[in-house]
Structures are given as C-alpha cells and as structure tokens.
Chains A and B, each alone.
Chain A
Amino acid sequence: MTAEFPVPQRTPISESYWQGLEEGELRYQHCEACGNAWLPARGECPRCLKAEWQWTRATGRGRLVSWTVYHIAHHPAFADRLPYNVAIVELEEGPRLITNIVNPDEAGGLAIDRPVELVIERDHGVALARFRLRQPEQ
C-alpha cells in the first residue's frame, strides 16, 4: 500500500514546512510586514499581499476546531484504518491545519475548543503534524 499513500508534494515554497517536521518542529509563515501568520505555505501574505515572510517555529499548542470520523475510505491507503478521524486544529499563533487526533478516546473525548498539543508521527516515511488532546489547565 506504501506506493499508493498520498505523499505530500514538496514545492520550493512548502519545502521548509516539510523539512521542519522532519527535524521535529512545526513551522508556520509569519509576515514581517504586517504580522499575519498562516498555513499552508504560500508565496505571499494573504493579508498584505507582500512576500516578506519568515518560517517561524510554532509552540505546538492549539485548540480543536472541529473533526469528522471517516467510516468509508475514499482512498485505498486508508481502508485498513477505518474508522479514523480528521480534525481541524487552530494553533495558538493563529494558523489552522488539517490533522489527526492521536488519542480521541482520552478522558473527556473530542470536543470543540479542547486544548491539543503537537505530536509528530511518521506515516509511510512522511513526518506528519498530528495532535493529542491535553487536559485543560486549571
């Protein structure tokens, strides 16, 4: 199944994002001109449209925005992991990303706005930015 796994297509713009995950950190683009922060990788800041951005390391902390659980596979590479979740996470720096929650059965379970933290996992040789549910800080 490895050959079929949808490996991300690295581009000159996204290369540093994927390289960061290989090196154990999650990076986002930060605009030097206007302070905006975003993912996924793009050539210009979508707020001020300038190309004066830097890759910045994220803390890896965020919150769960929403999720779904697949009971059917749209791709053969995912057939043997059904049911599996796909989630939207918002980083505390602002950018949002599509991800998976690695411990959905954790006490309290999946709930919107629940705090999460980064856990980088390898899947078919690709370092992916997944997240784990955190217990809320008191």
Chain B
Amino acid sequence: MRGKTVIAGIGHTAYGKLPGRDTLSLNVEACRKALEDAGIEKDAVDGLFVKFPTSSFSMMYGQTLAEALRLQPRVGGVWDQGGASNISMISFAAMAIEHGQCEIAIVCGADNPRTGTRQAYEKAWGDDAAYGWFGVPAGYAMLAQRHMQQFGTRPEQMAAVAIACRRHGAENPDAQLRKPLTLDEYFESPMIVEPLRRADCCLISDGGAAVVVMSARRAKELGVPAPVPILGFGQGQTSWEVARRPDLTTTAAVTSARTAFAMAGCGPQDIDVAQIYDCFTITVLVTLEDYGFCRKGEGGAFAEGGRLEIGGELPINTSGGLLSETGMPGMQLVLEGVRQMRGTANLQVKDAARCIVSNQGGIMHTHSTLILGQ
C-alpha cells in the first residue's frame, strides 16, 4: 500500500481561546478549509472519520457532524484512542479506500477545552483518588520519574525538548504560544507534578483540524495541487494503566514504528524531519527511543545540543507542537508533516524527503505512526 494513498488537503481553525465556538463549528470550518486546500467539492466525500472531542462525549457524534456537513458517508464514525486517534483514522481511511469502501475521506477532530472544560485532564483515577491520584500530568510524571531514575535522564534534557518546540512555535504566526523558552526560564517554571514543571506540559487549546485522504490515482484525476503520499503507518497499544504496566519506560510506540517503517520500506536513518507528539517533554524522549532514533534510555542525551531544533540533525515539531503551536491532540503534527513534504513549511527543513509523525493517547496507552513522503 506504500504511496498508494495521499493526503490531498489540510485545514485548521485558529488555535487558542475561541469563545462561542462549539466543536461542530470548529470541525466544519476545518473540513471546509481542507476541502478548499485539496481543491475538491464536498459532495465527493464518502468517508468521514471523526476523533471524539475529549472534553465532552456525545453519542453518535460522527453522525451529528455528518449532518452539519450535510454528508451521508459510506463509511465513518467516531474513533477513540485519545491522542492516537487522528493518525489511526488516517490509516483506517487509507485501508478503506484501498479496499473500495470509500473513495475520498475526511479525517478530522475538534475540541474546546480552553473555553469549555478541562476536567477530562484532571479527573480522578477510580478508587485510587482516595490516595490523591488525579489527572493526566501525574501519569506522565510517573514515567518521567522512572526514566530519570533508571537512565539518569536530567531536567536539562527534558528542557531541551521544550526549548526546541518553543523556538519553532515562536516563528509560527498561527501558534498559540509564540514565546521562546530559555533554560533559566525552564527552571523558574513552577513544579506541577514532580518531576514535571509547567514548561514540560502542553497547552490547553480550542481548535479543529482536518485532512482529506484519497488514492494517489484519484488525486491525479482530480488535479489535486499538492498531494502528499502516505508511505507507511502503524499502531501499537500499551493499554495497561501506568501503575500496572510491567515496564514504565518502553511503550507500544516500538510496535507502531516497526509496522510503519516496514510498510514504508525505510528506517529511522531515512527520516529528515519528525513531528513527535509532545503532550509532555518526557513523551518525546520515550518516543524517540521507542522509534529507534537512539537507544533506550538515551533519549535525554539525544535531545541535547540542539539536535531537535531547526538546523539540527533531527528537527522536531517545526510548527511548535503541542507545547507551543496548540495543545490540540495530534492533527496539527500531521498538518505540519504535510507542509514539510510539500516544501511549504514556515520553518522548512531543506531537502526534507521523509517525515515521521507520532500520535499517542492516554498516558502512552495508545500509539499511531505515520510516514509521509514526496
């Protein structure tokens, strides 16, 4: 299936605080822009894959959105892998297209936790709430603590991730947070859940984003101006709650990347630019290790010396990622991957021919990988 399907169009809303907008409105705007970008008519769409809004679950949301778009797709619905959903849905759309279940699919997601409720990120973990066990950040703090103790990972190394993303976001006119971060500012940033500081944590954002997926052949027939081939994808599920998973510092990102690399027929050494899900800085270090960019435990050292910054060996999150562009769970990374492969990124990596994109959800419960080419 390598290269048989393409991302034909991308679209997104403004990011940040968008009062008065519900998730349907954000999704519709993102879809309209993605269709415009692909240069195709809405009525050609016969697949609609929707990430459910994290902050408010409602039954049959995929159909609610289909009505708002006035579509009656052949396949579609809502998928929940948390932050891994977007890339997983792109891969499901590609498989559906390959097998004749639909021809042109929209994959989209929107949420408004910033003006709505961020409760989903601070919720109690069942009966363990009696021990004060609440919230998503604390789960990542458990991973980070173990990683630091097990491998000697240092705060400066986690800071290097935040500094790279914030540097890139500062250059992005669409980014929610356009303020570079210094190492001193990192250390001045207040502790939230040790060892994670505020500067280790992603933004909370309103916004929506969408992509149009179709076969390369169809894109050619329709005269799509800048289709970006999907070279590979893969998924992996760590699944178990942090407290019970046997290994806190290795995740199913290993499986996900292995599947995607096998499909794409390439390896980490062939990747020119990466968009790595950075809900927390530790997530990036673990993902880089699990993907094979460095050995297990060496993510911290790998992040040092500006390697992840533009001009470095492996620039990541060139539009700012979750730490700086928008806290939206994952699609912004796909959009930036598409721009890098089109050669239209704001911080374009010179001669970039392959981009890897990671999406992951929960506390590294779910993982999905996408490899884009030219």
User: By the criterion CB–CB under 8 Å, are A68 and B129 in contact?
Assistant: no
Residue of B131, B196, B248 touching A100 (CB-CB under 8 A): B131
Q: Which of chain A's residues have a CB closer than 8 A to the CB of B127?
A: 8-9, 14, 40
Residue of B130, B138, B193 touching A7 (CB-CB under 8 A): B130
Q: Which of chain A's residues have a CB closer than 8 A to the CB of B192?
A: 71-72
Q: A41 vs B264: C-alpha distance in the bound complex, in angstroms?
A: 43
Q: A56 vs B219: C-alpha distance in the bound complex, in angstroms?
A: 62
Known contacts A70-B193, A71-B193; A88/B131 CB under 8 A = no
A58 close to chain B: CB less than 8 A:
no
Q: A88 vs B139: C-alpha distance in the bound complex, in angstroms?
A: 11
Residue of A8, A14, A70 touching B132 (CB-CB under 8 A): A70
User: By the criterion CB–CB under 8 Å, are B130 and A86 in contact?
Assistant: no
User: By the criterion CB–CB under 8 Å, are B146 and A65 in contact?
Assistant: yes
Distance between B196 CB and nearest chain A CB, rounded to angstroms: 8
A34 close to chain B: CB less than 8 A:
no
User: By the criterion CB–CB under 8 Å, are A126 and B130 in contact?
Assistant: yes
User: By the criterion CB–CB under 8 Å, are A6 and B129 in contact?
Assistant: yes
B243 close to chain A: CB less than 8 A:
yes
B133 close to chain A: CB less than 8 A:
yes
Q: Which of chain B's residues have a CB closer than 8 A to the CB of A88?
A: 142, 242-243
Q: Which of chain B's residues have a CB closer than 8 A to the CB of A6?
A: 124, 129-130
A123 close to chain B: CB less than 8 A:
yes
A33 close to chain B: CB less than 8 A:
no
User: By the criterion CB–CB under 8 Å, are B193 and A69 in contact?
Assistant: yes
Closest 9 CB pairs of A and B: A74-B134, A68-B141, A6-B129, A8-B127, A69-B194, A98-B128, A66-B146, A74-B122, A112-B149
Q: Please give the residue numbers on chain A whose beta carbons come within 8 Å of chain B beta carbons, in ascending order.
A: 5-9, 14, 40, 65-72, 74-75, 78, 81, 83-84, 86, 88, 96-100, 111-112, 123, 126, 128, 130
Add 13 more A-B contacts to A66-B248, A88-B142, A88-B242 (CB < 8 A).
Answer: A6-B124, A40-B127, A66-B145, A68-B141, A68-B195, A70-B132, A71-B193, A72-B193, A75-B134, A83-B194, A98-B131, A99-B131, A112-B149
